[in-house]
Amino acid sequence: MTVNIDRARTTFPAPKKLLLAALVAMIVAQPCVTFAGSLVQLPDTEVTEAGEYVAYFIDPTTRYDHGILGDKIEAGGLVVERDGTQLVYRLPDDAVFEDRRVRLADIDRDGVPEIIVVKSYISCGSGIAVYRICDYSIVSFGESNAVGIAHRWLNPVGVADFTGSGEPMIAAVVTPHVAGSLRLYRFNGPDIVEVVRIDGFTNHIAGTQNLDLSRLTDIDGDRVPEIVLPTVGRRSLAIVSFKGGRPRIVTRQAIDGKIVSLDPIRGENASVGLSDGRRMAVMLR
Ligand SMILES: [Ca+2]
Ligand SMILES: [Ca+2]
């Protein structure tokens, strides 16, 4: 879906004077947040739709010379649209959104989704950033520690109750092209805190746009999702469980080839694309 920016310009319901005052107050309080007029989308942004919300990246910039997602054009801001209103969040020059997907998930369980994205600092690499969608603005809700080194990235897996505790957590593979550290994070505002990790997995190929080399499934039907993803090197496919807060490799199956894509999981069946063009069905159990 492509969002027509001109069509989606901000509209303000009456009373205009009251809202204008609120807008001025918001701009003073939150210098990174503005209601926008003309916006430029990131060329390869996805457009996320979740209920009444639509979200995407804007402000293409070349200020971070990395190119892990296939080009060296990253996002300097993001937009959430709701009820005909655009809310805009723009980063200062020390960081970019090194991401193509604005994830929307309710991690604090208040009924309103939060924004979960990859924020990369020019000097110290990537971390997970979470933002709250308020009535008239987007505000920072928390961040994980950045990797600590420029040009070190992470790729989120998803947001779910991975441990079975009832608490939504964020799963991500930190440095998927190096250590491949699959980690769980919980929201402990204003921090996004690592809970547990297991190394040796990947969910991205350097220089490609595909964010979905990992998938969620509930392979054993216990209503706690497992994570399906390749091991580092992409020559085997694993299922990882974090049930009970402990990482466990449920299965690991060798693949006759190098994995380059992973379809959404259907039941107990996975389908992978291989670097030589073949597709292969994989029974997960
Ligand atoms: Ca929420
Ligand atoms: Ca399960």
pLDDT tens by residue, 55-112 = 999 999 999 999 999 999 999 999 999 999 999 999 999 999 999 999 999 999 999 9
CA of 242 to the centre of ligand 2 (A): 9
Q: What is the pLDDT of residues 246-256, one digit of tens each?
A: 999 999 999 99
CA of 104 to the centre of ligand 1 (A): 9
* Euclidean distance between CA atoms 77 and 182, whole angstroms: 27
* Euclidean distance between CA atoms 156 and 98, whole angstroms: 11
**First and final CA of the chain: distance in angstroms?**
36
Tokens 């092209």 belong to: 177
Q: Which ligand is nearest to the CA of 222?
A: 2
**CB 85: neighbour CB atoms within 10 A?**
17
Q: How far is CA 24 from CA 1, 132, 171, in A?
A: 32, 19, 37
Q: pLDDT category, 37, cuts 50, 70, 90?
A: low
CA of 194 to the centre of ligand 1 (A): 19
Q: Supply the pTM of this predicted model.
A: 0.86
CA of 108 to the centre of ligand 1 (A): 5
* Euclidean distance between CA atoms 93 and 166, whole angstroms: 38
Query: Which residues, by Cβ under 5 Å, contact ligand 1, an ion?
Result: 106, 108, 110, 112, 114
What was the pLDDT predicted at 190? 86
Q: DSSP states of 220-255 as a string?
A: TSSS--EEEEEBTTSSEEEEEE-GGG--EEEEEEE-
